[in-house]
Chain A
């Protein structure tokens, strides 16, 4: 066997040369190559009897194969059918390809830098802080303002210590820190157990932290207030 073809690009024209399908220009090009390429020369020589058979017995070969359902028209139709099926599949493939490309491209700064800026803007536009308590809408009154003036109970004056605990508790309550609010309000009601408003806010704070038992107990105590509006809220 001779060595490889000396010019594979031209060497590939051998099939069309054998089948007499080259243009004059390409045929001349191939023949020039042939004179210098032992490999192609040997190939051509080896295939000569086969090409001769194909030329001479063309009709017989064609008729036999056509009898078996193998004709150019049928093969062409089958290939076109397959091509149409592939075109359908390629739509899905192209979608996956797009996703894949996006995932690949995202590593490039030119893609991810603007995306990062947009993401940051969106993040800063989002409301910060804890989400609002889901029980708040069930309160039939606004969370604030409240009256800093405590109602005077039958027991008399409210101590400064109770007032301070209540104010601190309300501050936490307004900041939605209900657990802290409960601690301070509990201190306030201990100092001034007759103060209905203190019990009311303690009850609401328990309600908002989903402690139903203590909430009911505190709100029941708030019902003893002489203030009709507060009593209505406590109910």
Chain B
């Protein structure tokens, strides 16, 4: 299986069903390839779902999910990635129940102790684990880049990100923007936010 913390490159085209058949045929290479491909995906999902958990904890969840998948593989007829995703969701639910942890929402101020929660380690994101352009930047510089990018966003996008940083929920922001543009559908709002993200990423890329 995978070593803790390492992120593998993402394969552009993946024939999951073909891989599944090969694994069922007992091909070791296919089995490793399936585990590697799933590991990348499951770990990323786990990272976003369990923000602040240690890399080891996340890796354990991923490994457990893969083991369960391999055990139940004979019953899987197609799309093993979906099956693995479902297993991970259950594992995450169990883990959360075990720890009785309140998930740390983005809008929660660290200085605010109104949410009782266990002390969690710093987010386990290390530049060397991610080959993206942002990952290569020092953490201190990243803060400055984000500030500069937000300054240069359009008023709409700036308001959106500032709202999120100040603890507004997307639903609250949607209600505000509906006041600004009464004719808007929710899908248009989602598209606009998506464009804001793209712009933020571009502005950061431009600074590097």
Q: Which of A9, A44, A83 contacts B44 (CB 8 A)?
A: A44
> Given A47-B201, A49-B125, A58-B165, A2 and B12 touching (CB < 8 A)?
yes
Chain B minimum-CB-distance residue to A83: B180
Query: Chain A residues near B79 (CB, 8 Å)?
Result: 36
Bound state CA distance, A17 and B110, in angstroms?
A: 21
Query: Chain A residues near B193 (CB, 8 Å)?
Result: 12, 15-16
Bound state CA distance, A69 and B58, in angstroms?
A: 39
Please determine whether B165 and A28 come into contact, CB atoms closer than 8 angstroms.
no
A54, CB-defined interface residue at 8 Å: yes
Please determine whether A59 and B109 come into contact, CB atoms closer than 8 angstroms.
yes
Bound state CA distance, A64 and B139, in angstroms?
A: 17
B24, CB-defined interface residue at 8 Å: no
Bound state CA distance, A68 and B150, in angstroms?
A: 12
Query: Chain A residues near B176 (CB, 8 Å)?
Result: 76
| Contacts of B156-208 to chain A: CB distance below 8 A | 156, 158-159, 161-166, 168-171, 176, 179-181, 187, 190-191, 193-194, 196-197, 200-201, 204
Chain B minimum-CB-distance residue to A87: B182
B63, CB-defined interface residue at 8 Å: no
Categorize the interface residue count of chain A. 35 or more
Q: Which of A31, A55, A61, A72 contacts B123 (CB 8 A)?
A: A55
Query: Chain A residues near B130 (CB, 8 Å)?
Result: 45-46, 48-49
Chain B binding surface, main DSSP class = helix
Q: Which of A11, A21, A52, A54 contacts B169 (CB 8 A)?
A: A21
A65, CB-defined interface residue at 8 Å: yes
Please determine whether A49 and B135 come into contact, CB atoms closer than 8 angstroms.
yes
Please determine whether A49 and B201 come into contact, CB atoms closer than 8 angstroms.
no
Please determine whether A62 and B166 come into contact, CB atoms closer than 8 angstroms.
yes
Please determine whether B44 and A72 come into contact, CB atoms closer than 8 angstroms.
no
Please determine whether A12 and B194 come into contact, CB atoms closer than 8 angstroms.
yes
Interface string of B114-140 (1 = CB under 8 A from A): 000000001101010010111101010
Please determine whether A31 and B45 come into contact, CB atoms closer than 8 angstroms.
yes
B151, CB-defined interface residue at 8 Å: yes
Please determine whether A47 and B82 come into contact, CB atoms closer than 8 angstroms.
no
Q: Which of A16, A68, A75 contacts B159 (CB 8 A)?
A: A75
Chain A minimum-CB-distance residue to B11: A38
Please determine whether A75 and B194 come into contact, CB atoms closer than 8 angstroms.
no
Categorize the interface residue count of chain B. 35 or more
A19, CB-defined interface residue at 8 Å: yes
CB distance from B150 to the nearest CB of A (A): 6
A53, CB-defined interface residue at 8 Å: yes
CB distance from B183 to the nearest CB of A (A): 11
Please determine whether A71 and B166 come into contact, CB atoms closer than 8 angstroms.
yes
CB distance from B97 to the nearest CB of A (A): 15
Bound state CA distance, A47 and B130, in angstroms?
A: 10
Please determine whether B159 and A36 come into contact, CB atoms closer than 8 angstroms.
no
Please determine whether A52 and B159 come into contact, CB atoms closer than 8 angstroms.
no
Query: Chain B residues near A57 (CB, 8 Å)?
Result: 142-143, 146
Bound state CA distance, A22 and B194, in angstroms?
A: 13
| Contacts of A59-108 to chain B: CB distance below 8 A | 59-62, 64-65, 68, 70-72, 75-76, 78-80, 82-83
> Given A32-B82, A35-B82, A62 and B165 touching (CB < 8 A)?
yes
CB distance from B91 to the nearest CB of A (A): 13
Please determine whether A72 and B162 come into contact, CB atoms closer than 8 angstroms.
yes
Query: Chain B residues near A19 (CB, 8 Å)?
Result: 106, 164, 170
Query: Chain B residues near A3 (CB, 8 Å)?
Result: 12-13
B51, CB-defined interface residue at 8 Å: yes
- Residue of A42, A55, A61 with most partner-chain B CB within 10 A: A55
Q: Which of B134, B142, B155, B164 contacts A78 (CB 8 A)?
A: B155
Please determine whether A61 and B190 come into contact, CB atoms closer than 8 angstroms.
no
Please determine whether A76 and B146 come into contact, CB atoms closer than 8 angstroms.
no
Please determine whether A32 and B85 come into contact, CB atoms closer than 8 angstroms.
yes
CB distance from B130 to the nearest CB of A (A): 6
In addition to A32-B85, A41-B40, A72-B168, 10 A-B residue pairs with Cβ atoms within 8 Å of each other are A11-B194, A16-B193, A20-B105, A46-B201, A49-B132, A52-B123, A56-B122, A72-B163, A75-B159, A82-B155
